[in-house]
A = this chain, B = another copy of it.
Amino acid sequence: MTPAGRRIVAAAEELFYNRGITAVGVDLIAEHSGVTKRTLYNQFGSKDHLVAAYLTGRDQRWRSLVRAAVDASDTPAEAVTAPFEALRTWSGTNTRGCAFINALAELPDPSHPAYRIAANQKLWLLDLFRELAVTAGCSHPATLATQLLVLHEGAVAMQPLSLDSLPESTALARALVRAGTSPRH
C-alpha cells in the first residue's frame, strides 16, 4: 500500500470507529488524510472496499496484540485468558465497543466485502480460545471457548457505557480455566 493509502486507512479508522460508517462520507476522510478524493478512489475503488481495508487493518493489529499476549504467558493456563490481557491494553484507546460488531450492525448485507472480515474476526478468536484450552488440558474445550468468547465480547460491548466490567470478566474467565484444569471437587 502506498503512503497515501496508509494515511487514508488511518483517517478512515478514526472516523468510522468514532462516528459510524454510514455517517462518515468519503470527502471527510479525504480531507482528514490530506488527500484528494480521486486518490482515495484510485487506491480503494469504492467506499465499501475502504471499509473492508479499515476492518482488515484493525483485525491485523488486534491479532498481533493477542498473539503477543499469548506468547508472553508463563503457563498454558494463563495463555487461555491472554486475550483478556490484550483487551485491557486495547481498551485504553478504544472505548466505543467492538468495531466489528458495530460494523455488522451497519452492514447487514452478507455480500458486503467487509462482512466476512468482521465475522471471521470473532470465529478466529473462538478458535484460538479452543486451541489454547486444548493445550492447557481443559476438560471441555469447546464449551469453555464459547463461554470465554461470550465473556470477552460482553466486556467489549459494555465499554461505551463506562461501567468497567473487564476486571470481573477476566476474573471469571480465569476461574473457569482453573475449574477446567483442576480435578473435580
Q: Is the CB of A157 within 8 A of B153?
A: yes
Report the separation of the CA atoms of residues A96 and B23 in the bound assembly, to the nearest whole angstrom. 20
Interface 9-residue window, one of A5-13, A27-35, A54-62, A164-172: A164-172
Q: Is the CB of A105 within 8 A of B108?
A: no
Interface 9-residue window, one of A41-49, A66-74, A86-94, A144-152: A144-152
Say yes or no for A1: interface residue by CB 8 A criterion.
no
Q: Is the CB of A98 within 8 A of B163?
A: no
Report the separation of the CA atoms of residues A19 and B18 in the bound assembly, to the nearest whole angstrom. 19
Say yes or no for A102: interface residue by CB 8 A criterion.
yes
Q: Is the CB of B149 within 8 A of A158?
A: yes
Closest to A142 in B: B168
Q: Is the CB of B163 within 8 A of A158?
A: no
Say yes or no for A134: interface residue by CB 8 A criterion.
no
Closest to A101 in B: B157
Given A147-B172, A151-B150, A168-B146: A20 in contact with B22 (beta carbons within 8 A): yes
| 3 closest Cβ pairs, A-B complex | A154-B154, A150-B154, A102-B105
